[in-house]
Amino acid sequence: MTFMHTLWLPILLSSVFVFLASSIIHMVLSWWHKSDFSKLPDEEKFTDAVRPLAIPPGDYMIPNCSSNAEMRTPEFKEKLSKGPVMVATVLPNGMFNMGKSLSLWFVYLVVVNFFAAYITFHAVPAGAGYLKVFRFAGATSFMGYSLALCQASIWYGRSWCSTIKSMIDGLIYAGLTAGTFGWLWMR
């Protein structure tokens, strides 16, 4: 019997539970992530200045150089010292496509929980106790929900406070995933 045959229910159900919890965290408890992004000083002046550039959606590093050699030039060093130094993501103009993002979020939850099921299935025998299942499923899903978030703070200067709050969210999600797996584990 494959792990998918026996664990499809905890994979999908824990994904639903995490989806609901994330909705509550971001919509009902909106104060929790309210400070994750700051408003630019004189936002209108900034947007009026960059709007004519018609920057296509994408990720940008400002200033940017084409090679390591250029990075060592006095001209590039001057750009860095004069600033601004930014990492920017430009989204398409118009309304944010929430339906697409929520659908992709749910697919992501299923993928994280699939790997939690895979690892737990191979580490914990059928009939194991709730806490043993909880430990493996929780640790694995926490890695999927949280650990990669640190990269944005390490490499791109994202606020550690925002990253830690998102990792706490991931801990809640991992607890829900682990609890669901422990509850529905193979007997």
pLDDT of 89: 92
Instruction: Give 46-60 pLDDT, tens digit per residue.
Output: 999 999 999 999 999
Determine the pLDDT at residue 13: 97
pLDDT of residue 4: 76
Find the domain containing 66 and state its range: 43-90
Whether residue 55 sits in one domain with residue 8: no
Same domain, 105 and 82: no
Chain-centre distance for alpha carbon 15: 15
Positive or negative, the CA dihedral 9, 15, 18, 24 is negative
> Is the domain of 29 the same as that of 117?
yes
Q: How big, in percent rounded to 5, are the helix, strand and coil portions of the chain?
A: 70, 5, 25
Q: Where are the beta strands (DSSP E) in 25-167?
A: 58-62, 86-90
Do 30 and 120 lie in one domain? The reply is: yes
Residue 21 structure tokens: 């919890």
In the chain, what is the straight-line distance between the N-terminal and C-terminal CA atoms, in Å? 14
69 and 26, same domain (yes or no): no
Q: What is the model's pTM?
A: 0.88
Total tally of structural domains belonging to the chain: 2
Statement: residue 6 has pLDDT above 90: no
| 68-95 confidence digits (pLDDT tens) | 999 999 999 999 999 999 999 999 998 8
Closest by CA to 149, choosing from 141, 158, 140, is 158
Whether residues 120 and 31 share a domain: the answer is: yes
Residues constituting the chain? 187
- At which residue do the structure tokens 């059928």 appear? 126
Shared domain check, 62 and 28: no
Q: Are residues 110 and 180 in the same domain?
A: yes
